[in-house]
Amino acid sequence: MANRVFLNPDGYIEVVLDGEQTYMTIDNMRYDILDFVKQLQQQEKPVLGLVDLTTDTGYTTDTNKASMQILESVNYDKVAMYGGGVILADISKAIILAMGRSNNTQVFKDRESAVSWLLEKNEKSTATAVEPPK
């Protein structure tokens, strides 16, 4: 199975990382994510994201860099991540802290907790898509 990016019927962008990751497997999702961001903005909905790390079996400095670049290229309202084990959760938290986005980006142990936090207090978005650097 490959990584997937789709618009969940509940109104948020869902990203599923599946298997061994590389810089390119992460970066290849960027434009799909940006397309969904624009779609949500046109509908005047909040830009919310859910990232499933449950079946992500590999991460490196390069995959961390690609993930950080995507998070930096999207002005979102909230992103919730879940799964992936203790080490990946700790790395994700460190990236979020380094980016200064711990107020609207959180890591959870399970999907239920992540979705609950993500969907609480939905407000109209003021987020804007930012094109990635060339």
- Of residues 21, 12, 95, 112, the one with CA closest to residue 58: 21
Cβ neighbours, 10 Å, residue 71:
19
Any residues with CB less than 8 A from the CB of 127 and at least 6 apart, and which? Answer: 37, 41, 46, 47, 74, 75, 76, 77
Tell me the backbone φ, ψ of residue 62, rounded to 5 degrees: -65, -40
Tell me the whole-structure pTM to 2 decimals.
0.84
Predicted confidence (pLDDT) per residue in 48-77, tens digit = 999 998 887 777 889 888 988 898 888 899
In this prediction, residue 1 carries a pLDDT of 58
- All residues at 6 or more sequence positions from 54 whose CB lies less than 8 Å from its CB, including other chains: 82, 83, 84
Domains (ranges, CATH) in the chain? 4-119 (3.30.750.24)
Per-residue pLDDT tens digits of the chain, which is 134 residues long: 589 999 999 999 999 998 888 999 999 999 999 999 999 999 999 999 999 988 877 778 898 889 888 988 888 999 999 987 787 778 888 888 878 888 899 999 999 999 999 999 754 444 444 444 44
